[in-house]
Amino acid sequence: MADDHTHVQEFFTARAADWDARFPEDGPAFVTAVAALGLRPGDAVLDAGCGTGRALPALRAAVGPGGAVLGADLTAAMLESAVRAGRGGSGLLIQADAARLPLRTGVLDAVFAAGLISHLSRPGPDLAELARVVRPGGSLALFHPVGRAALAARHGRRLTDGDLRAEPNLRPLLARSGWHLTSYVDETSRFLALAERTG
């Protein structure tokens, strides 16, 4: 049976029109995070949960005109905002569930995912689906333009030991899903976990 994504779609549909205006200072952090993926000209990269496509220009700049950039998101309104912002020129936008990608196995060199992991209904299998579409040795960046503690404070909650993105939880979760965590940064101004596709 298909997952019910109604809640996620309603949440982001309500925020799509002013998503970029709410976080106007995030641009440089996206550029730095994309640089950490180590993309080369000609590479194929997916922005999973691309939203309004804030990472797409930096991804396109990294892979060049001969590369492939795909932005996938569940929420049509976020993709519509991406098009209005002119980001459709940086990559192909598709409405798709990151847990069921319409892509062949191993076709990508990398996946970039900003603000996605906390919204996944089954993080283990969903990260395994991201691993499926990436070639062995390819890369994953799990990014957020603020760190875990700052994000929790923004939402008025406290961080718990069970937090999915805490390193002791994330490392084994990634390992079970076809990824090896290679770098982990959680500071006020950013969260960035990098992983390499195993197998």
Ligand X SMILES: C[S@@+](CC[C@H](N)C(=O)[O-])C[C@H]1O[C@@H](n2cnc3c(N)ncnc32)[C@H](O)[C@@H]1O
CB of 69 to ligand X, least distance (A): 14
Q: Which of 39, 45, 95, 37 is nearest to 68 (CA)?
A: 45
Candidate residues 37, 59, 78, 103; the one interacting with ligand X per rule CB under 6 A: 78
The CB-nearest residue to ligand X is: 51
73 part of the interface to ligand X, by CB under 6 A: yes
Which residue has 């205006």 as its token pair?
Answer: 21
CB of 116 to ligand X, least distance (A): 5
Candidate residues 33, 46, 50, 140; the one interacting with ligand X per rule CB under 6 A: 50
Identify which of residues 72 and 193 has a Cβ nearer to ligand X in the complex: 72
Considering only residues 87-106, where is the footprint of ligand X by CB under 6 A? 97-99
74 part of the interface to ligand X, by CB under 6 A: yes
CB of 113 to ligand X, least distance (A): 7
119 part of the interface to ligand X, by CB under 6 A: yes
Please state whether 101 falls in left (phi above 0), alpha (psi between -120 and 50) or beta: beta
CA 110, CA 63: separation in Å to the nearest integer? 11
Contact code string over 11-30 relative to ligand X, x by CB under 6 A: -x------------------
Candidate residues 115, 128, 153, 171; the one interacting with ligand X per rule CB under 6 A: 115
CA 41, CA 19: separation in Å to the nearest integer? 30
* Angle of helix 6-15 versus helix 76-84 axis, rounded to 10: 30
Q: Would you tell me which residues interact with ligand X (CB under 6 A)?
A: 8, 12, 49-52, 54, 72-75, 78, 97-99, 114-116, 119-120
